[in-house]
């Protein structure tokens, strides 16, 4: 950030304010240290670390599979296998009635569908234009 023509006293306070955000909290620093330097074989905590890591990975894989399976049971939705545990990328075939209504409202069908889904269910979808035609990641629910 570049600041010009700012009163020096205000600039001093601005620098203090910005510097409070330049470092993670102690908990964040410990988490980063553990993530970048996990226990190695022979370390006292290695067995517990590996047990917890494998348990966490198994739970994520189960949730991925359940999410994919659930999407694929819904008519008009197909979901590719989920590998990351963060996003699902289902392909949603916009219903004909939604396409017609969107056209009458002079909206694109995918935008209309996403907005109606949010209003009716609380699910937030990102339009798939930037990801590929018909693809929308589920970002919140």
**Residue 131: half-sphere exposure toward Cβ, Cα within 13 Å:** 16
Q: Hey, which residues does 78 pair with through a beta bridge?
A: 91
- Domain parsing of the chain, residue ranges: 43-140
Q: Is the entire prediction scored with pTM above 0.75?
A: no
Give the dihedral sign, CA 48/51/57/60. negative
Distance CA 55, CA 35 (A): 16
For 79, other C-beta atoms within 10 Å of its C-beta total 20
Which CATH fold topology does 43-140 show? 3.90.1150
List the chain pLDDT tens, one digit each, 141 residues: 677 888 888 888 887 777 666 666 788 888 888 889 999 999 999 999 999 999 999 998 999 999 999 999 998 889 988 887 678 888 888 889 989 999 999 998 888 988 888 899 888 877 765 444 444 444 433
Residue 141: CB partners within 8 Å, gap ≥ 6? 122, 123, 124
**pLDDT at residue 41, rounded to an integer:** 96
Smallest CA-to-CA distance from 113 within 89, 137, 84, 92 is with 92
- CA 111 – CA 90 distance, rounded (Å): 16
């Amino acid at each position: 950030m570049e600041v010009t023509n700012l009163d020096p006293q205000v600039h001093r306070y601005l620098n203090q304010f910005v510097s409070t955000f330049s470092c993670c909290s102690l908990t964040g620093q410990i988490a980063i240290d553990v993530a970048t330097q996990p226990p190695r074989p022979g370390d006292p905590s290695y067995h517990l670390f590996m047990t917890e890591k494998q348990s966490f990975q198994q739970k994520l894989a189960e949730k991925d599979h359940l999410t994919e399976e659930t999407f694929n049971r819904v008519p008009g939705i197909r979901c590719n296998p989920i590998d990351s545990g963060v996003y699902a990328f289902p392909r949603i075939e916009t219903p004909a009635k939604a396409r017609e209504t969107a056209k009458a409202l002079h909206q694109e069908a995918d935008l209309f569908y996403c907005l109606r889904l949010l209003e009716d269910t609380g699910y937030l979808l990102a339009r798939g234009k930037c990801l590929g035609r018909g693809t929308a990641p589920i970002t919140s629910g």
